[in-house]
Chains A and B, each alone.
Chain A
């Protein structure tokens, strides 16, 4: 079964850092274009970051550029999101999501179950 499982969320103070992990099973994560998407409480979906399958382009939303870093460990079949300089408005459920195995597909399937990040003092 193809599955993504996020971990690493929790409570962090403003200005702090957190690293989220996304472990893949049932498929080789390095062969897929991967994304992070978040959802603030009671709000809609916000795309955050993209990583190409072949070590190519990486993109970020303006809201997190310079603060968040996406990366991948092929040996661990895992995706990461390093989040620095966290703000209260970063409070959200964070999802990792794979793109379909078609180059440049652009739609997200599957999604992980999400991990909650709360930024508060």
Chain B
């Protein structure tokens, strides 16, 4: 089973600033990585798939990068609605599909 590790667990950033979230896989997942955003009481929402392709309707301030074992989600010009929990998920070696433990992006 591939273990996904996200860092940091909590990230405090001011509105308008840039946030950089990391996700590391225990072995290569190529570019088969997705990012999700989850707000309290809501279901996760797909942001990025294929490590760097934005899902339909996702603003351009969200970008994903990386391949192999190291991935990054970058959010520039943080808006109030961006403060949430973010999860990465690998779909290269499955079953099982595996998720990271999440990074909480909070307002500084």
By a beta-carbon cutoff of 8 Å, the part of chain A in contact with chain B is 35, 44-47, 50, 59-62, 95, 100, 105-114
> B interface vs A, CB < 8 Å?
32, 34, 36, 42-46, 49, 55, 87, 89, 91-92, 94-102
What secondary structure prevails in chain B residues at the interface with A?
A: loop
Q: Which of B46, B97, B102 has the most CB of A within 10 A?
A: B97
Given A45-B87, A47-B96, A59-B95: A108 in contact with B102 (beta carbons within 8 A): no
Main secondary structure of the interface of A (DSSP, over half): strand
Given A44-B87, A44-B101, A47-B96, A107-B46 contact (CB < 8 Å): yes
The interface residues of chain B lying within 8 Å CB-to-CB of A46 are: 99
| Cβ-defined contact, A106 with B97, below 8 A | yes
Q: How far is A31 from B5 in the complex, measured between Cα atoms in Å?
A: 33
Residue in chain B with minimal CB distance to A6:
B43
Cβ of A50: which chain B residues have Cβ within 8 Å of it? Answer: 94-95, 97
Q: What CA separation (Å) do A47 and B99 show in the bound complex?
A: 8
Q: Contact at A44–B99, with CB atoms within 8 Å?
A: yes
> Is B43 a contact partner of A113 (Cβ separation < 8 A)?
yes
Q: Which of A45, A100, A105, A110 has the most CB of B within 10 A?
A: A45
Q: Is the CB of B89 within 8 A of A107?
A: yes
Q: How far is the CB of A100 from chain B (nearest CB, A)?
A: 7
- How many whole Å from B35's CB to the nearest CB in chain A? 9
For A62, what are the chain B residues with a Cβ–Cβ distance below 8 Å?
96
Residues of A within 8 A of B89 (CB): 45, 107-108
Minimum Cβ distance to chain B for residue A33 (Å) = 11
